[in-house]
Amino acid sequence: MSGNGAGDELYLDAASTEPVSRDVIEAMMPFLTEAYANPLSVHQPGKTAARALDAARASLAADLGARPDDVIFTSGGTESDNLAVKGIGMARMRMLRDKYGESVKPRIIVSAIEHPAVLQSVAWMERWFGVAVVRIPVDEQAHIDMAALERELAQGDMTGIDNGEHEMAGQGSGSTLALTNRTLLVSVMLANNEVGTIEPVDEIAHIAHAHGVPIHVDAVQAAGQIPIRMRDWDVDALSVSGHKFGTPKGLGALLLRGRTPAEPVLSGGGQERGLRSGTQNVAGAVALAIALHESNTRMAGQYQALTESRDRLMDAVLRVEPRAQVTGDPKRRLPGHASFVFPGLSGEALLVDLDARGIACSSGSACALGRHEAPATLLAMGFTAPVAKSALRMTFRTPLTSEQINRVAAAIEESCRLLTHTDAVALPR
């Protein structure tokens, strides 16, 4: 299957997984069949693999507005988030306690709508190291409360100290090694996976750095969909996952600037700056670089058309089903991301019925499917649990045609009518 669908099936779940392109598969093959040597080996086959790894690292960095030495290859977004939260958190916690003693009470700040990979990582830090977790609320469109973020960071400030002792020379006032705040890290999403809202991470970075705190950005949903300029935004760490932009599953990267201390989560041979031990997956690194470049190129050429088809799809759904409500920011959102709630209906039931009609989409986060839970993001946005459980997400990477939009709208209209009738019949008399 390619594009938005093949045959009678219309695939609208790209936010979960994108198909792998033929170009990516072909780029990987030489490093699976011929140039398969360990890139750390000193012989010529090893050097060939090392050159390919270096080229992939440089390409990935360029497409994310970073530098090659920022890139740490991982097994995906989950590992990248874990390494950022735990690695940076543990390193800064040790530095804080070395300077101020064991009595210091460290904190980590996250938004209320982060991915489980981040939320469970901070919960781990809380359980094993006593790190306080501060959750910043969001508004009805899933935008972070910037005033609350500023207040929480200010509460962590440690006044009356010499902030130059741990500051690296040449980094200036933006150094994230200036230990003037007991907050270990701020971690936020660039774009929300459930409702598509895009956050102003450059502003968040500015606020965090004003208090001497590094920022980690989960860019898993955003990479390949919107321009990312890690260094221009002054972001300290950034996570991406390959299967969101067209690689096989199990590939990702953490981009981590050298000014930001981190401890390894995996121990071993010391690969990837000593922060991610294990023999590097050269074919996977090549796939990451090729797929992201393809996705960025496609995005640059069709961003406007993709945005327009997204808006037409949302308008069409709202027209055929008056109960439907768009979730997230209606404009400042990912270009191929349309999300709704359907009060009075079950999102899971709607998902199953649409699938039977040849339309593959998602109900909330792909990581929560099958648990029949109210999506945490929608609860944080102020929706009640029954309404949150009616969520439906449709995501795509190429513009939808008018025929496809009309097909989706008609299917939703029929599904809503059917499910409303079914629920009415099932009610006790």
Q: Mark whether 274 and 155 lie in a shared domain.
A: yes
Looking at residue 293, its amino acid is: H
* Token couple for 91: 């390193």
Residues 353 and 204 in one domain: no
**Domain shared by 82 and 205, yes or no:** yes
Within this chain, do residues 311 and 373 fall inside the same structural domain, yes or no? yes
My answer on whether 355 and 414 are in the same domain is yes
Residue at a domain's end among 293, 315, 348: 293
- The CATH number that applies at residue 154 is 3.40.640.10
> 35: which residues sit within 8 A by CB, 6+ positions away?
45, 48, 49, 52, 282
Q: Are residue 9 and residue 51 in the same domain, yes or no?
A: no
Q: Please tell me the total count of domains within the chain.
A: 2
Judgement on whether residues 110 and 40 belong to the same structural domain of the protein: yes
Residue type, 39: P
**DSSP 8-state symbol, 196:** -
CA distances to 31, 87, 264, 359, 385 from 67, in Å: 24, 20, 20, 40, 43
Does residue 44 share a domain with residue 185?
yes
Whether 247 and 319 map to the same domain: the answer is no
By the 8 A CB rule, do 295 and 163 touch?
no
Nearest CA to 108 out of 214, 259, 202, 224 is that of: 214
Note whether 65 and 223 are within 8 A (CB).
no
d(CA 237, CA 80): 9
**413: closest CA among 326, 316, 336?**
316
Catalytic site positions = 367
| Same domain, residue pair 184 and 198 | yes
Question: Which amino acid is residue 228, in one-letter code?
Answer: I
Residues 156 and 188 occupy one common structural domain: yes
Q: pLDDT averaged over consecutive 10-residue blocks of the chain (429 residues)?
A: 58 96 96 94 95 98 98 98 98 95 95 98 97 98 98 89 40 57 97 98 97 97 98 98 97 97 95 96 98 97 97 98 97 98 96 96 65 86 97 97 98 96 51
For residue 240, give both structure tokens: 């991406």
Residue 182 shares a structural domain with residue 282: yes
Note the pLDDT of residue 160: 58
Instruction: Give the max Cα distance, the chain.
Output: 79
What is residue 421's predicted lDDT score, i.e. its pLDDT? 75
Boundary-marking domain end, from 264, 293, 322? 293
> Which of 258, 212, 213, 221 has the alpha carbon at shortest distance from 239?
221
Q: Would the pTM of this model clear 0.95, i.e. be above it?
A: no
Q: At which of 243, 261, 293 does a domain end? A: 293
Residue 170's pLDDT is what?
31
CATH number for the domain including 336?
3.90.1150.10
Helices (H) and strands (E) in the chain, counts: 13, 13
**How crowded is residue 226: how many other Cβ atoms within 10 Å of its Cβ?**
17
For residue 411 the two structure tokens come to 């299917």
Strand order through the sheet with 183-189: 71-74, 252-256, 237-241, 215-218, 183-189, 107-111, 132-136
Q: Residue 311 sits in which domain range?
A: 5-20+302-426
